[in-house]
A and B are shown apart, each in its own frame.
Chain A
Amino acid sequence: MSADDRWARLVAIEGEPAPADRQALLQDVLALGLDEVAPGVLGCSITEAGSAGGRSTAVSNALAASLDQAQLDAGDGPCLRAARAQQQQQLDVIAGDDSFASFAAAAGRHGVRSSLSLPVPGTATPTSLNMYAGQPDAFTAERSQAIAGLLARCTATLLGAPREAAPLNVSTAALEDALARRNIVLEAKRRLAARADLTEPEAFRRLARWSQIECCSILEVAHKVLDGQAPPEERDQATPDGQAAPEEREQAASEQRQAAPEQRDQEER
C-alpha cells in the first residue's frame, strides 16, 4: 500500500467514530511514522503509560518493541514521559543526554541516536507516539514535527479521543458559526446549480469568481444569490439592473418564503 493510500485511509477516520479496522489503521500510523516523518527512522511505537506501568499498544518492529520495553522496565523514558506529562520529548543526540540513562543505553545497543515522542491527546489512558532514528538530529526539521503531530492526532482519533481534544482544538461556538455560514453558501450554490444547470464545483467557482470581481467574501455573494441577484456570467441574460430574470427572482422569493425558520435566522446573522 502506498503512503498516499495510507494517508487517505487515516484521515478519513474523522468521520468514523469507531472504525472497524482499527488495528490495520494503527499499522498505517506506524508505517507512516517509519517512512514519512524523517529520513532514517528505524522504529515506531504507540505506548500507553498506565498507573501500574505501561505497555506498547502497537510497534513497527522488534527494535521499537525492545526500546519501549527498556523504558517500561526502567519505569521512565521519553515515551512514558511524553504520555504522562503530555509533553513532547525530543532527544536530538541521545548519547549526550543523561535524562534517561536506561533508555540511552538500550538505544546505543540498537544504533538509535535520536528520538521523538509525542503525546497522543485526549485518550483515556495517557499515550505517546514514538519514533527512533539511526542518526542524530533526525527530528529537528519543522516539517518532520508537523507530520509527526498529524500522526499523533490521527492516533488520538483512532483511540477514541473526543473530537475537541484529538484533531483540532475548536470551540463549539466557532464551529457553529462556520456551519451557519456554510449553510448559506451551500444554499446559494444549490440555487445557482439548479438555475444554470451547473455541477456543484461549477457553481462554487461561479461564486468564487464573483467574490474575486467584487473583492468580497463568498458569503456576501451567496447572500446576493439568495436575494435574487445574478452572478456576472449570467448577467447577459438578466435584466439591465443586474437582477436575475423576473421568473428567477420570483422563484428565489418563493424559496425564501419557504425557507425553514432556522435558515432565515442564519441568513439574518
Chain B
Amino acid sequence: MTHTAGLSLEVGLDLSGMSMNELWLRQVSVGGTAGSLETEAYLLGLLTPDPYQYDLLAQALNEHFVELGQDHPVGYWDASVRR
C-alpha cells in the first residue's frame, strides 16, 4: 500500500503552521479517535498509522488548507480518494 501523490503528513503539518494541538483537534472533528500522544507519535514518525488513520490525519490537514483556499495538497493513503 502506498499513499497518493501529494504532501506527506509531516510536510503538510510543517507547511500548515498548525500546532500539534490544532492538528489533534481537527483530527477529532473529522471523526478520528487517536489520542493526542498517539497523533504526535504518528507525526514524528515513531508509529506508523494504518491507512484509515493516515487518511483521517490527511483530511484534518487538508481542511486547514481548504480554509486558506489551497484545496487538498496532502496526499491520502488509498488511491480510492484520488481526485
In angstroms, Cα B6 to Cα A152, docked, is 32
Q: Which residues of A contact B38 (CB under 8 A)?
A: 11-12, 14
Measured CA separation A148–B79 after assembly (Å):
35
Interface size in chain A (residues, C-beta < 8 A) = 46
Contact with A along B48-63 (1 / 0, CB 8 A): 1001100110010011
The reply to whether the CB of A249 lies closer than 8 angstroms to some CB of chain B is: no
Shortest Cβ distance from B39 into chain A, in angstroms?
Answer: 9
Look across to chain A and name the residue whose beta carbon is closest to the beta carbon of B65.
Answer: A215
Q: Does the CB pair B71–A175 fall under 8 Å? A: no
Contacts A14-B35, A204-B52 hold; do A178 and B44 have CB atoms under 8 A apart?
Answer: no
B30 touches A167 (CB 8 A): no
* A118, CB-defined interface residue at 8 Å: no
CB of A143 closer than 8 Å to a CB of B: yes
B66 to chain A, nearest CB (A): 6
Interchain CB contact (< 8 A) of B36 among A147, A168, A211: A168
Measured between C-beta atoms, what is the minimum distance from B83 to chain A in Å? 5
State in angstroms the CA–CA spacing of A240 and B37 once bound together.
46
Q: Are B44 and A143 in contact (CB under 8 A)?
A: yes
Known: A3-B46, A204-B52. 18 other contacts (CB 8 A): A4-B46, A10-B37, A11-B37, A11-B41, A12-B35, A14-B38, A36-B46, A150-B37, A157-B37, A169-B21, A170-B24, A175-B28, A179-B28, A205-B55, A211-B62, A212-B71, A213-B83, A218-B30
Chain B interface residues (CB < 8 Å from chain A): 20-21, 24-26, 28-32, 35-38, 40-41, 44, 46-48, 51-52, 55-56, 59, 62-63, 66-67, 71-72, 76, 78, 80-81, 83
